[in-house]
Structure 1
Amino acid sequence: MTTAQLVLSLVLATMVFSVALELQPADFARVAKMPRAVVCGLVPQFLLLPVATWAVTLALDLPPAVEAAMILVACCPGGSLSNVVTHFGRGNTALSVSISAVAALLALFMTPLNFTWMVSTNPATAGWLTTLDIDPAGIWWSLLALLALPMIAGMAFARRHPVAAKRWQPRLSRFSLAALGAFIVLGLIRDRHLLGPQILPQLLIVVLHNAAGLALGWLAAQAFRVNTADRRAVMIEGGMQNAGLALGIIAVQFGSDLDMVIVASLWGIWHIVSGMSLAFWWRRSDARHGL
């Protein structure tokens, strides 16, 4: 793990810990009684977005590496950051965490299955087909270190020290959001040589692709008739893919192909922008309605 990856992991773990300070075991008990909402959150991630992406790449004449990267990102599950964004947007955080946990397990076979099948059936990307070998230990370590451990630690701390948890939660939340923002800005400065006009087409593709993920999450929530808090969680899970996992696969399987790296990296930045923007809008909407 590089220094940058370690710093980002610590920032994400801190964000999850701050979220957990406001969670109660009863939140998860309620989710266990509503498995339909969890299924609703998995459908956009593993069915709707991958299939829609595959169909679009068949219709459009994009560079094969760009199409392969789009399919790969669409086939990756949501990361732990979606839990934080859902919480900030006053969605059902416990549902978001549950969806992320189940998605991490399904990704062990669904991500390579979806990706290899979709790339092999697209004539433009068939030559890029590589048999994926996702390390289960890597995914589960990510789930354990970035989600499970800080979540358990935060809930345990809040249970033992409720007054301190209430006092520190807003401060930790603001600090972790600021640290994440600083990490993104520093990353942009470091890679500024790639941020020329030549990446505008890829950026437009990423923006539209991400919007499709959010929209498909909304459609799934409407079809399953879930409540407002659940709908927000499902939308965020549908639109915030694990671009970090995609970048790792690109590095191992495709030799860090530049076009693929640019698409996955732009996804990693843009889905934070879109997710947080949506969360801010929801909070403002709640405030206008006195919620």
Structure 2
Amino acid sequence: MDSALTAVALPLALAVVMFGLGLSLTPGDFARIARQPKAVVIALLLQLLALPVLCFGLVLAFDPPPLLAVGLLLLAASPGGTTANLFSHLYRGDVALNISLTALNSVIAVVTLPVVTNLAIGFFEPAGGGTLGLQFGKTLQVFAIVLVPVALGMLVRRSAAAFADRMDKPVRILSALVLALVIAGTIVAERDDVGEYLRAVGLPALVFCLCSLGVGFAVPRLLGIGRAQAIASSFEIGVHNSTLAITVAISVLGSVELAVPAAVYGVVMFPVAAVFGWAITRTRTGAGERGDAVPAG
């Protein structure tokens, strides 16, 4: 991929997405975690532990090429993002919980994403693997591209809340466009091998998306979490920040092929999440169930 795109455009695109996330966050979103710890802990355990294990099992079952296998696990380690919040809002999830989980996940991902990616590289040993890996210097890059724009967005919100509120919808739209352009750029860069990549990771990406959404909803419900919170958990776990995964793969690790699973997932997750949201809305049982009301805000 063109070096200007790798060095400037992709990190800038991700910065826009993460800055937009920061505009929607306040310190209270982190404090809110203490008020609903059970829902947060369950969602985090699913995100941080269950998803990588689930993805690893799918990779072993479908046996894609090593670089694509690592790319799938890089995606699994990526947190949710603003798109997860949007889906949760559309399907009456607890958006406040989504925002809290996104904020916390974005911080934790600075540690977990390098760990999961390095373990995957060590296990699958892709060709050229000796040049891959998120060592300390590259981990600092992940820290910078994830947390710095979020912090700047939060500072803007703190000093100009009205401006941040006005910018919320435009930035969400821009974030969706950025994701579409990043996916398109990745596919164009690998256009000669797109058919092969789709055959290798299309089905695993689809199954992983369905499993992530399903586990994210079913497990919290089985453990007594309210419906609105379970919907929030489902989209937080099932709708990953593909822009982050693609940017880390290309700009930090220097591999376009490594970004292909995230690009494929970014295409798959929109219709799958929409159908999943429609399905769980259709099967709703009883509005008076504990925790089914959507909290204000």
Whether these two folds match at TM > 0.5 is yes
- Aligned residue number for residue 94 of structure 1: 96
2:206 — aligned with what? 207
Deviation at 1:157, TM superposition (A): 4.8
Equivalence map 1:1-291=2 (5 Å): 2-3=8-9, 5-7=11-13, 9-10=15-16, 13-14=19-20, 17=23, 25=28, 30-121=32-123, 125-127=124-126, 130-133=132-135, 135-151=138-154, 153-154=156-157, 157=160, 168=166, 173=169, 175-184=170-179, 186=181, 191-192=187-188, 194=191, 197-201=195-199, 202-251=201-250, 255-258=254-257, 260-275=258-273, 278=276
Contact 2:14 2:145 in 1 (8 A): no
Counting aligned pairs with the same residue, the percent is 23
Partners of 2:106 and 2:146 within 8 A in 1: yes
Worse-matched range after superposition: 104-113 or 208-217:
104-113
CA distance in 2 between counterparts of 1:7 and 1:46 reads 25
How many Å separate the matches in 1 of 2:235 and 2:32? 20
Are the counterparts in 1 of residues 85 and 95 from structure 2 also a CA contact under 8 Å? yes
**Cα contact 2:15–2:149 (8 A) shared by 1:** yes
Q: SS where residue 97 of structure 1 aligns? A: helix
In structure 2, how many angstroms separate the alpha carbons of the residues matched to 1:15 and 1:109? 19
Give the distance between the partners of 1:36 and 1:185, measured in 2 at CA.
Answer: 35
Change (3 A) 1:89 1:249: same
Contact 1:184 1:269 in 2 (8 A): no
Is the contact between residue 16 and residue 84 of structure 1 (CA under 8 Å) also seen in structure 2? no
1:57, 1:234 → 2: CA distance? 24
- Write the letter of the residue equivalent to 2:88: T
Q: Secondary structure at the match of 1:2?
A: helix
Report how far residue 154 of structure 1 moved. 4.3
Of 50-59 and 266-275, the range deviating more from structure 2: 266-275
**CA root-mean-square deviation:** 3.9
Q: Deviations over 1:225-256 (max 9, x none)?
A: 21122112211121122333333333367541
Conserved? CA contact 1:79–1:242, under 8 Å: yes
Aligned residue pairs total 273
Unaligned runs of 5+ in 1: none
Tell me, in whole angstroms, the C-alpha distance in 1 between the residues paired with 2:82 and 2:164: 21
Q: Does the CA-based 8 Å contact 1:83-1:97 persist in structure 2?
A: yes
TM-score (ref. length: structure 2): 0.71
Q: Is the 8 A contact 2:58 2:208 kept in 1?
A: no
SS of aligned partner of 1:77 = coil
